[in-house]
């Protein structure tokens, strides 16, 4: 479980950085927030994270577009039920397509676009109370590593944008950055993200 949390967290960090580099305005807004909150400290502290509303919006929007496990964990029906006009027999294996749900135009405006601002002053969360946003699943089989992953990813992203400015490498630009997702049990980037960090502090 610990190793799975590390792997999925690394994937989310990579997707977050890719989306920020593809959307420079969002990157600038996040860097300004993080640097204003942290001040002149050498790194972000955990207590700083709760003061960063933009960071939390960026994190949520990345999870909405790029859930690491798009089909969640398999479920079994305990009884025959009728859903959306379909009869689902008991003891049927059911796969929930979180990737499609979180891009459903009925619930999300411009669902294919990266718009962190959609979560500003928005009560929708990912802990299983809002069924249009379920990157960690819902109910008793919700991801047991949720709190670990949220804390670790937010902390990593905050430090990355605080300590460095970032440039795309290998001739990539925001317009031609490859955002292809290979299909599979987990959603990773088809092409690894190559970037150049520019340190803000001489000590780095």
Residues at the binding site are: 143
Kind of pairing between the strands at 81-83 and 164-168? unpaired
The encoded tokens of residue 125 equal 């969360």
Helix, coil or strand: residue 19: helix
Q: Would you give the distance in Å from CA 5 to the centre of its chain? A: 13
CA 151 – CA 47 distance, rounded (Å): 11
Report whether 98 contacts 107 (CB < 8 A): no
CA 64 – CA 134 distance, rounded (Å): 8
CA 174 – CA 22 distance, rounded (Å): 4
Binding site residue list for heme: 143
């Amino acid at each position: 479980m610990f190793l799975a949390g590390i792997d999925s967290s690394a994937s989310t960090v990579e997707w977050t950085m890719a989306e920020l580099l593809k959307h420079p305005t969002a990157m600038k807004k996040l860097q300004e927030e993080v640097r204003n909150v942290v001040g002149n400290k050498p790194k972000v502290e955990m207590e700083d994270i709760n003061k960063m509303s933009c960071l939390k919006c960026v994190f949520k929007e990345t999870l909405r577009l790029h859930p690491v496990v798009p089909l969640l964990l398999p479920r079994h029906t305990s009884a025959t039920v009728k859903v959306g006009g379909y009869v689902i027999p008991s003891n049927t294996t059911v796969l929930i397509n979180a990737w499609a749900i979180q891009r459903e135009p009925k619930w999300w405006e411009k669902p294919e676009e990266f718009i962190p601002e959609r979560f500003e002053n928005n009560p929708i969360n990912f802990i299983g109370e809002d069924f249009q946003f379920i990157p960690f699943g819902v109910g008793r089989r919700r991801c047991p590593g949720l709190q670990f992953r949220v804390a670790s990813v937010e902390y990593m992203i905050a430090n990355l944008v605080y300590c460095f400015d970032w440039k795309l490498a290998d001739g990539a630009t925001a317009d031609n950055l490859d955002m292809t997702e290979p299909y599979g049990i987990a959603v990773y980037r088809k092409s690894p993200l190559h970037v150049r960090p520019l340190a803000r502090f001489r000590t780095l």
